Structure 1
Amino acid sequence: MNDATSVREASQSQALPLAGLRVLDLTVARAGPTCVRHLADWGAEVIRIEPPSAEGQDIAGEPDGFDYQNLHRNKRIMQIDLKQAEGKAVFFQLAKTADVIVENMRAAVKFRLGVDYASVRAVNPRIVYASISGFGQDGPYGHRAGVDQIAQGMGGLMSITGLPGQGPVRVGIPIADLTAGNLLALAVMMALFNREKTGEGRWVHTSLLEAMVFMLDFQASRWLLAGEVAGQAGNDHPTAIPTGVFPTQDQPITLAASSPRMWERFCEALGQPEWITKPGWDTRDGRSQDRAAINAAIADVTRTKPSLHWIEVLDTAGIPCGHINTIDQVFADPQVQHLGIAQPVQHPRLGAQRLVSSPINMTGVTRGIRAPTPRAGEHTQEILEELGLDAQAIAALRATRAV
């Protein structure tokens, strides 16, 4: 990296809202890194700490693979063996100057390693310590390992996903991991805001299970407030009708026209104004009860014209609708391209890349990816020197594989 590039990147970083925040990243897999990625993308100085590995492989995935590259951009990476006293001493030197520590080990592991909140707070009362576990930090399942699919199952999502009678189905993204990471990033921001008033940090934590139950949203309230146990509804919305997937001459489309006024506009757009006053279809409850017949009638109409015809007709009528894109079609979509969410970055070894940037927009701040994902341990030497360790001390740490 030349001097001009360094100055430019430093200037861009200083303009970001989290510039000046130091984060120690102890995360693995996906949920924790999702939290840290928010902080890194918006300007925090993130030091990712990984255990030394003879193979140079990270326990979260293949370093040159698409997943690892997507999760760990905008960071510096060093290697520390937290199981060794010398390595843990280096960690606590870093912790003294950190604002945030993020981890998603099994609940008990941080205590076994001696890097838990109480231990860190003893040297830095201002620390915001952020944790994700599978099922919570304590309780009957607190000791268990948890991964996304287990949380999807235990949190109820798999019971309401898929076609009626199909049996449990997982969704196509790690939604419990991602939601837990997003919520933890929000918790970090709240704790940092609170620290401005109190001068002290806090331990904030969530779990995959809590995140998954939270994401049930109205399906949860159907049970808690109305006593209804939701089942699988396939591509139909569980309560808002019609909302679903319908055939056309060339490819299916998805649409939603459930409110009374929208239903009227929808019927008119389809050339079926008589549906508006048809007995049983003229009320929301009636449409809910006659869902199958309504869906069949809509399909009989929509399959007579190409998808683009119906997208244009329905859009003109103000009816939410859209194509059902494959992933490649998503990134070819003109609106997605306009939003600029796939950002270019130049990797020194892997060449030109495109990564999904932050979906957040903020006035006065240019969204982008400042730096590609480093290789394993790339910044170990640099960060140790910043701590004031001389060549002899660093060599001694390397000799014992503490770093």
Structure 2
Amino acid sequence: MRPLEGVVVLDLSRYIAGPTASMMLADQGADVIKVEPLPGGDPSRQSGPFMDGGESVYFMSANRNKRSLAVDLRSAEGLSAVQRIAAGCDVLIENFKPGTVSRMGLSYSDLAPRNPGLVHCSISGFGSGAAGSTMAGFDQNAQGMSGFMSVTGTAETGPLRAGIPVADSSTGLVAGFAILAKLFEKAHTGVGGQVSTSLMQTMTFMMTYQAQKYLSLGIVPTMEGNDHPLIFPQGTFRTRDGHVTIASGNQQMWEKLAAVLGLDDLLRDARFSTNEVRLDNRVQLRKLMEEQLAGKNSADWISIINRAGIPCGPVLAMDCVFNHPLARELELTGSVHHSTLGDMLVLGRPADTGDAPWLHSAPPVLGEHSQAVLADHGFSEAEIAEYTRRGIIAQG
């Protein structure tokens, strides 16, 4: 048995943040009903690149293990159907612009009288207050406004965004945690409630010691490139054939690293005697280290440096990631059958929670389960046939 079997989730969210939260719940056994507005469904379906069958890899990345209900949310009947389904769900997730669900009759205050056990999760870009409710909630904006981009990059590059939607994905994980916390509370009280998070809250939380450095010391952190902002040498270093990451996390590790690099004389150099002065003189130290690292290939240095007890690893492109021995050991991918594409690989789950199978269905085609979802929630055959005939729902 999977941990969340029996939990029914109504997922009204789009793009990445909300779908990531619901996917995490689906991986643990929840029945996630992905409500997709007609005609196009989740807007991420229109974001390329596309597989040969026309399916978006953007959509594929965050929607496995779900059932798709394609419904015309612009119609009174479509909204009424979704409201009726919500009355029998344990969780509702939405990431509309603040205020939208109230106009749809799908806010917590709308649904709680009929379903007091509902856990209602709202995800926004910048919250529902006066300052944030009118701001567009996109990953890039949150990376910029949270301080993240101010510490990412170098003086030469200027501020850089992460190469992945880090704000969206991390907010999805935080939302999933908040939902589980509320479900745990509900198990004791029998009553659900509201939870909320935003891209801004999550990304500011993710700033960890960089944010605390300002709060505690008044120091505004700056861009350090690939270097660790508090410890050196720790970062990315050039070798004869590429780059390696080295994490020399304390004085003892530094001394061992200097020895394996043949830089023992630097241990008596006042410029590099402590972490504080190594940070001040890291340009010179990096030059000296990379002169030594240029003598061997990355694979050789990874073996040598790790044997000395210092964490050292490669910088892998995606093709190398999924061909690395760790990909199999950690189940970084899963294989599943898609209804139109056939067998395909999807990303693996980020945590193991038992031996029960976690991957049971591929990301759905639009409306793949529309009729089945309505039947499961008490709609008659005649109602389903009429909704299908009138285009209120679409069966994929």
Give, as a single letter, the amino acid of the residue that structure 1 aligns with 2:323.
A
CA deviation vs aligned residue, 1:333-370 (integer Å, no higher than 9, x gap): 112232111111121310221111111012x4245421
Q: Is 1:239 the equivalent of 2:230?
A: yes
Task: Give the aligned partner of residue 129 of structure 1.
Answer: 120
Give, as a single letter, the amino acid of the residue that structure 2 aligns with 1:17.
P
Q: 2:219 is matched with which residue: 225, 228, 233?
A: 228
Q: Is 1:356 the equivalent of 2:341?
A: no
Q: 1:140 is matched with which residue: 131, 134, 147?
A: 131
**C-alpha displacement at 1:78, in angstroms?**
1.0
Q: How does 1:315-394 map to 2 (within 5 A)?
A: 315-362=306-353, 364-366=354-356, 368-394=358-384
TM-score with structure 2 setting the length: 0.94
Task: Give the aligned partner of residue 43 of structure 2.
Answer: 59
Give, as a single letter, the amino acid of the residue that structure 1 aligns with 2:15.
A
Partner SS for 1:254: strand
Task: Give the aligned partner of residue 26 of structure 1.
Answer: 12
Partner SS for 1:332: coil
Are 1:344 and 1:354, in contact at CA under 8 Å, matched by a contact in 2?
yes
In structure 2, the CA distance between the partners of 1:144 and 1:291, relative to structure 1 (3 Å rule), is same
Give, as a single letter, the amino acid of the residue that structure 2 aligns with 1:133.
S
Are 1:164 and 1:231, in contact at CA under 8 Å, matched by a contact in 2?
no
Task: Give the aligned partner of residue 44 of structure 1.
Answer: 30
Are 1:361 and 1:367, in contact at CA under 8 Å, matched by a contact in 2?
no
**C-alpha displacement at 1:395, in angstroms?**
3.1
Q: How does 1:175-214 map to 2 (within 5 A)?
A: 175-214=166-205
Of the structure 1 ranges 76-85 and 135-144, higher mean CA displacement relative to structure 2 is found in 76-85
Give, as a single letter, the amino acid of the residue that structure 1 aligns with 2:359.
I
Give, as a single letter, the amino acid of the residue that structure 2 aligns with 1:355.
V
**C-alpha displacement at 1:396, in angstroms?**
3.0
Task: Give the aligned partner of residue 51 of structure 2.
Answer: none
Distance in structure 1 (CA, Å) of the matches to 2:139 and 2:312: 30
Identity of paired residues, percent?
A: 36
Q: Is 1:261 the equivalent of 2:252?
A: yes
Partner SS for 1:268: helix
**C-alpha displacement at 1:174, in angstroms?**
0.4
Distance in structure 1 (CA, Å) of the matches to 2:118 and 2:385: 30
CA deviation vs aligned residue, 1:37-68 (integer Å, no higher than 9, x gap): 10011100111111121xx5532224712121
Give, as a single letter, the amino acid of the residue that structure 1 aligns with 2:281.
D
CA deviation vs aligned residue, 1:186-245 (integer Å, no higher than 9, x gap): 000000011112111111010011111111111101111111111111111111100122
Distance in structure 1 (CA, Å) of the matches to 2:75 and 2:66: 24
Give, as a single letter, the amino acid of the residue that structure 2 aligns with 1:126.
G
Are 1:83 and 1:113, in contact at CA under 8 Å, matched by a contact in 2?
no
In structure 2, the CA distance between the partners of 1:91 and 1:57, relative to structure 1 (3 Å rule), is closer
CA deviation vs aligned residue, 1:297-349 (integer Å, no higher than 9, x gap): 11111111111111011010111111111111111111223211111112131
Q: 1:401 is matched with which residue: 368, 391, 394?
A: 391
**C-alpha displacement at 1:400, in angstroms?**
4.1
Distance in structure 2 (CA, Å) of the matches to 1:160 and 1:41: 34
Task: Give the aligned partner of residue 288 of structure 2.
Answer: 297
**C-alpha displacement at 1:107, in angstroms?**
0.9
Distance in structure 1 (CA, Å) of the matches to 2:95 and 2:322: 31
Are 1:165 and 1:232, in contact at CA under 8 Å, matched by a contact in 2?
no
Distance in structure 1 (CA, Å) of the matches to 2:349 and 2:213: 33
Are 1:357 and 1:368, in contact at CA under 8 Å, matched by a contact in 2?
no
Are 1:281 and 1:290, in contact at CA under 8 Å, matched by a contact in 2?
yes
In structure 2, the CA distance between the partners of 1:34 and 1:303, relative to structure 1 (3 Å rule), is same
Distance in structure 2 (CA, Å) of the matches to 1:308 and 1:92: 58
Are 2:41 and 2:70, in contact at CA under 8 Å, matched by a contact in 1?
no
Distance in structure 1 (CA, Å) of the matches to 2:157 and 2:365: 44
**C-alpha displacement at 1:399, in angstroms?**
4.4
Task: Give the aligned partner of residue 3 of structure 1.
Answer: none
Are 2:87 and 2:115, in contact at CA under 8 Å, matched by a contact in 1?
yes
Partner SS for 1:87: helix
CA deviation vs aligned residue, 1:370-400 (integer Å, no higher than 9, x gap): 1112211121111222233333322333344
Distance in structure 2 (CA, Å) of the matches to 1:110 and 1:194: 24
Give, as a single letter, the amino acid of the residue that structure 2 aligns with 1:24.
L
Are 1:22 and 1:45, in contact at CA under 8 Å, matched by a contact in 2?
yes
Task: Give the aligned partner of residue 161 of structure 2.
Answer: 170
Partner SS for 1:355: strand
Task: Give the aligned partner of residue 5 of structure 1.
Answer: none
Partner SS for 2:44: coil
Distance in structure 1 (CA, Å) of the matches to 2:296 and 2:38: 60
CA deviation vs aligned residue, 1:125-177 (integer Å, no higher than 9, x gap): 10000111010022312122210001111111111111224222111010100
Task: Give the aligned partner of residue 285 of structure 1.
Answer: 276
**C-alpha displacement at 1:275, in angstroms?**
1.9
TM-score with structure 1 setting the length: 0.92
Give, as a single letter, the amino acid of the residue that structure 2 aligns with 1:43.
G
**C-alpha displacement at 1:274, in angstroms?**
2.3
CA deviation vs aligned residue, 1:245-280 (integer Å, no higher than 9, x gap): 212111111111131111111111212222223213
Task: Give the aligned partner of residue 9 of structure 1.
Answer: none
What's the Cα RMSD here?
A: 1.5
Task: Give the aligned partner of residue 12 of structure 1.
Answer: none
